[in-house]
């Protein structure tokens, strides 16, 4: 069994949970899983890893998930939607009205973190509202 098959549950979770900048590669008998995610998603990945290798003894996986929670208020973040613009909402949830859009690949400012899934952002033209953090990627300084 390949390592990709062995850890398929973990990599499928990383994809479905929206790990940003996800990179999965097998090299020299080790599967490397790199990316950026919220603290909650990072914990889910570690829990899944623990289920697949309960004692963490196989040494065949490197799980390198950076926490996007380290982004501070006032920091610049990039809109990393697949192709479309990112909805800016009146409140933290898809049940709230869309009050604007942030362009795909644009840079916006983090105003505050409502929670691990919804952040308040501000565009360069002054639009401010809630966006789903899955589509916001920290910009390296």
Give the per-residue pLDDT at 140. Answer: 61
Measured CA to CA, the distance from residue 137 to residue 45 in angstroms comes to 19
Residue 55 has pLDDT above 90, yes or no: no
pLDDT > 90 in the chain, percent: 53
Measured CA to CA, the distance from residue 115 to residue 13 in angstroms comes to 21
Domain range 76-138, its CATH number among 3.30.70.980, 2.60.40.3140, 2.30.30.40, 1.10.3720.10: 2.30.30.40
Average the pLDDT over each of 17-26, 33-42, 56-65, 123-132 and give the range with the smallest value: 33-42
CATH 3.30.70.1770 domain range(s) in the chain: 3-69
Q: Are 95 and 30 in contact (CB under 8 A)?
A: no
DSSP 6: H
Domain range 3-69, its CATH number among 1.10.3720.10, 3.30.300.30, 1.10.10.10, 3.30.70.1770: 3.30.70.1770
CATH 2.30.30.40 domain range(s) in the chain: 76-138
């Amino acid at each position: 069994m390949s390592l990709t098959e062995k850890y398929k549950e973990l990599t499928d979770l990383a994809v479905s949970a929206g790990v940003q900048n996800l990179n999965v590669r097998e090299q020299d008998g080790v599967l490397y899983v790199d990316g950026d995610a919220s603290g909650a998603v990072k914990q889910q990945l570690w829990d899944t890893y623990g289920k697949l290798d309960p004692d963490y003894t196989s040494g065949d996986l490197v799980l390198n998930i950076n926490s996007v929670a380290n982004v501070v208020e006032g920091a610049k973040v990039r809109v990393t939607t697949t192709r479309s613009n990112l909805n800016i909402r009146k409140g933290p949830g898809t049940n709230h009205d869309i009050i604007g859009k942030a362009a795909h690949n644009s840079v916006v400012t983090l105003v505050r973190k409502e929670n691990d899934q919804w952040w308040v952002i501000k565009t360069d033209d002054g639009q401010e509202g809630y966006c789903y953090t899955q589509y916001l990627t920290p910009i390296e300084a």
